[in-house]
Amino acid sequence: MSLNRDQYQALATLLKQLRADATTTQLDGPALRQRLALVQQLFGQEIIPLTDEDSRVQSYRTEISKQLRLLEIDVMFFQGARQASTAQARLQTISDRLTILIQYCDAIMQQEAEGEK
């Protein structure tokens, strides 16, 4: 497994953990924000510095960056929710966005696996 794939695997694992925690344990806003900060830190320190010649991988990385920023906004909206139904809807949006992020990571890992063949 390539070093790049290891980094994306680590990111996908963190994202899956966050999605599971957000949907099953009903994390509160500050805990969710703290977990998101860990994901953003990993992305910034481990993935952004990676060099990829493949333009598709670069496109996926750009999309991951955009989705992480949107996820941060979703978490802020979740923290501001006053009613349980609104909070639940925000958690569903967060879960959906995390699923998209995981799919991007999986696509990059598959791309890199095919490139090694």
Q: What does the pLDDT look like over 63-76, one tens digit per residue?
A: 999 999 999 999 99
The residue segments making up the domain with residue 50 are: 3-116
Place of tokens 């609104």: 86
Listed as ranges, residues in the chain with pLDDT below 70 are: 1-3, 25-26, 116-117
Alpha carbon separation from 32 to 17, 28, 36, 37, 78 (Å, rounded): 11, 6, 6, 9, 9
Residues contacting 44, CB < 8 A, separation 6+: none
**What is the distance between the alpha carbons of residues 3 and 84, in angstroms, rounded to a whole number?**
43
Helical pair 84-116 and 55-80, crossing angle rounded to 10 deg: 170
Please tell me the predicted confidence (pLDDT) of residue 5: 86
Please tell me the predicted confidence (pLDDT) of residue 116: 67
User: Which domain CATH number covers 77?
Assistant: 1.20.120
Please tell me the predicted confidence (pLDDT) of residue 1: 44
CA geometry: angle at 19 spanning 57 and 87, to 5°? 125
The count of structural domains within the chain is 1
**What is the distance between the alpha carbons of residues 114 and 97, in angstroms, rounded to a whole number?**
26
Please tell me the predicted confidence (pLDDT) of residue 3: 67
